[in-house]
């Protein structure tokens, strides 16, 4: 029997980060992975999509070179080269995780892991050889995959998920994207920028439905200006793949219409990878597709833990990493503080970007707060105007009574790099007055945060 202190099942941004922190804390650690190190995020999610989006942004710059004083003739894209670059970036990041495993003396066990009783894991490799391992602590970090709807079965060719969308051999002329969360919206921006005719179908009344309503409306305006077609309060009821392309039947308040396209991308959320990993045999409790855990990610069975997408928290890479670190620090006996899920930033990397943390205006009102709301448009920002990206705004929400920063919502160029200010300030229980008196550099996009706070308190200078 191969014995460890900690075995992590899965090597995504939750799993590999957990393993590294465990090793740093002195635990003999192993990671079990059935595919590539880095999981979905590094190989099929966060990283390769950002590479695609960067290519799209460069292409946009070249197409609008005149706006910056340059003459560029006949700008053409090479779709296969763009995809190839994205895969190269992902491969490089996965190799980086391999290096980190070696550096931290973590054993990588390649194969499909199944949980067993008595804190054991059985791993079957690609040659069907089965090996038993045991550990004092087993941490489940198996992540999630693209969710399939009964009305939208994926065939991997005409009806696809995010994996296929990253590696299409040919650029589609027309694409229907079902779902307007981060995945759907990022692909909508990418494919539209590359020249594909894109239609986004969203079941709820607003695109990016988890965001503040004003942010949603701004993104819809920006996307329509780019030529993306948006259908909200709409549902794809069936798809016909019998012909050359695909016909999607879309039901709206106005009735049904059929949209013809080359590809339908299903981006309707995720399904956790909790089947066939031994949960039932071990007796680990689940509820509605999630593994139940306490504040320190312990399951109902001693010695077994779960982090990341398989647990009830937000399905985000940075959440999985934070949960894993907290989990092993608790195992090591450190005095740790439970994660505050009300202060988790969310980012969508389309253009304009979206970033948010805390309560929306609607949520704050529903919770009974008397609020002060401030908004500063990037059209009044010197840095935004100079860079040619003046779409969007920063919106802040404060409790009028105590000055508590309840929420921050941004849409604009580079805002995913700005949201951390609000996250840290909220963590430190910073008040509006303290933000106002913290000098922000000029000219920057980030000074819009200070200006928005000033607007909430009637002290704004530049609008």
Query: What CA–CA distance (Å, rounded) separates 336 from 250?
Result: 49
Report the SS3 class of residue 353: strand
Is residue 420 within 8 A of residue 345, CB to CB? The reply is yes
- Give binding residues for NAD(+) as ranges: 179-186, 202, 269
- Residues with catalytic function: 442
Q: Give me the mean pLDDT over the 386-398 stretch.
A: 96
Average pLDDT over residues 213-238: 96
Average pLDDT (300-309) is 98
| Rounded alpha-carbon distances, angstroms, from residue 194 to 169, 175, 251 | 14, 12, 28
Q: Where are the domains of the chain?
A: 2-146+271-341, 159-268, 352-456
Which of left, alpha, beta for 227 (phi over 0: left; psi -120 to 50: alpha)? left
Binding residues: 50, 113, 179-186, 202, 269, 309
pLDDT recorded at residue 46 = 87
- Reported confidence tier of residue 416, pLDDT bands at 50, 70, 90: very high
93-105 pLDDT, tens digit per residue, is 999 999 999 999 9
| Cα–Cα distance for residue pair 350/204, rounded to 1 Å | 20
Among 353, 346, 280, which residue's Cα sits nearest to residue 313?
346
Q: Where are the alpha helices (DSSP H) in 262-360?
A: 279-282, 317-331
Per-residue pLDDT band for 44 (boundaries 50, 70, 90) equals confident
Fold match, 159-268 / 352-456? no
Residue numbers in the known binding site for FAD are: 50, 113, 309
Fold that domain 352-456 belongs to in CATH:
Enolase-like; domain 1 (3.30.390)
Q: Residue 455 pLDDT more than 90?
A: yes
Digit-coded pLDDT (tens) for 168-217 = 999 999 999 999 999 999 999 999 999 999 999 999 999 999 999 999 99
Average pLDDT, the chain: 95
User: Percent of the chain beyond pLDDT 70?
Assistant: 100
Topology given in CATH for the domain delimited by 159-268: FAD/NAD(P)-binding domain (3.50.50)
Q: H/E/C letters for each residue in 252-281?
A: ECCEEEEEEECEEEECCCEEECCCCCCHHH
Mean pLDDT score, 14-35: 97
Question: Is the CATH number of domain 2-146+271-341 3.40.30.10?
Answer: no
pLDDT (average), residues 262-275: 95
CA distance 118 to 385: 62
Note whether 407 and 364 are within 8 A (CB). yes
Q: From residue 29, how far is each of 15, 24, 103, 398 by CA, in Å?
A: 11, 10, 12, 44
Q: Specify whether the CB–CB gap between 296 and 338 falls below 8 A.
A: yes
pLDDT digits (tens, 9 = 90+) for 343-384: 999 999 999 999 999 999 999 999 999 999 999 999 999 999
**Would you state the pLDDT for residue 1?**
63
Lowest mean pLDDT among 150-154, 168-172, 314-318, 424-428: 150-154
The whole-number pLDDT of residue 55 equals 95
* pTM, two decimal places: 0.94
Is the pLDDT at 38 greater than 90? The verdict is no
b/e burial code for range 217-240 (CB count within 10 A of at least 16 → b)? ebbbebbeeeebebbbebbbeebe
């Amino acid at each position: 029997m191969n014995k460890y202190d900690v075995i992590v099942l899965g090597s995504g941004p939750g799993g590999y980060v957990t393993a590294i922190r465990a090793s740093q804390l002195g635990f003999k650690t192993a990671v079990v992975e059935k595919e590539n190190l880095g999981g979905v995020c590094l190989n099929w999610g966060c990283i390769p999509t950002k590479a695609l989006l960067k290519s799209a942004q460069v292409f946009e710059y070249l197409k609008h070179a005149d706006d910056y004083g340059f003459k560029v003739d006949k700008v053409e894209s090479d779709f296969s080269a763009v995809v190839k670059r994205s895969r190269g970036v992902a491969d490089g990041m996965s190799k980086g995780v391999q290096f980190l495993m070696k550096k931290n003396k973590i054993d990588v066990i390649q194969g499909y892991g199944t949980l067993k009783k008595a804190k054991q894991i059985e791993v079957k490799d690609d040659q069907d050889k089965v090996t038993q391992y045991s550990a004092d602590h087993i941490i489940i970090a198996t992540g999630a995959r693209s969710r399939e709807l009964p009305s939208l079965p994926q065939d991997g060719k005409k009806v696809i998920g995010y994996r296929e969308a990253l590696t299409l051999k040919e650029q589609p002329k027309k694409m229907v994207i079902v779902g307007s969360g981060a995945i759907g919206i990022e692909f909508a921006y990418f494919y539209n920028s590359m020249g594909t005719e894109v239609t986004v179908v969203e079941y709820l009344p607003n695109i990016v439905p988890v965001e503040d309503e004003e942010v949603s409306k701004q993104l819809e305006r920006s996307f329509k200006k780019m030529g993306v077609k948006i259908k909200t309060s709409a549902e794809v009821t069936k798809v016909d793949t019998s012909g050359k392309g695909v016909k999607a039947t879309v039901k709206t308040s106005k009735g049904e219409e059929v949209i013809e396209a080359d590809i339908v991308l299903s981006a309707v959320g995720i399904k956790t990878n909790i089947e066939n990993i031994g949960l039932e045999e071990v007796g680990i409790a689940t509820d509605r597709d999630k593994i139940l855990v306490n504040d320190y990610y312990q399951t109902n069975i001693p010695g077994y833990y779960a982090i990341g997408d398989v647990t009830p928290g937000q399905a985000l890479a940075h959440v999985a990493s934070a949960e894993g670190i907290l989990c092993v620090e608790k195992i090591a006996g450190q005095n740790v503080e439970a994660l505050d899920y009300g202060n988790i930033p969310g980012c969508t990397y389309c253009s304009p970007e979206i970033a948010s943390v805390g309560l929306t205006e609607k949520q704050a009102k529903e919770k009974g707060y008397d609020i002060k709301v401030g908004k500063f448009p990037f059209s009044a920002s010197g840095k935004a105007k100079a860079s040619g990206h003046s779409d969007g705004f920063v919106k802040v929400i404060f409790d009028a009574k105590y000055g508590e920063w309840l929420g921050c919502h941004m849409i604009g160029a580079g805002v995913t790099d700005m949201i951390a200010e609000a996250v840290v300030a909220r963590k430190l229980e910073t008040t509006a007055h303290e933000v106002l008196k913290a000098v922000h550099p000029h000219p920057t996009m980030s000074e819009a945060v200070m200006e928005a706070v000033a607007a909430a308190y009637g002290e704004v200078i530049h609008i």
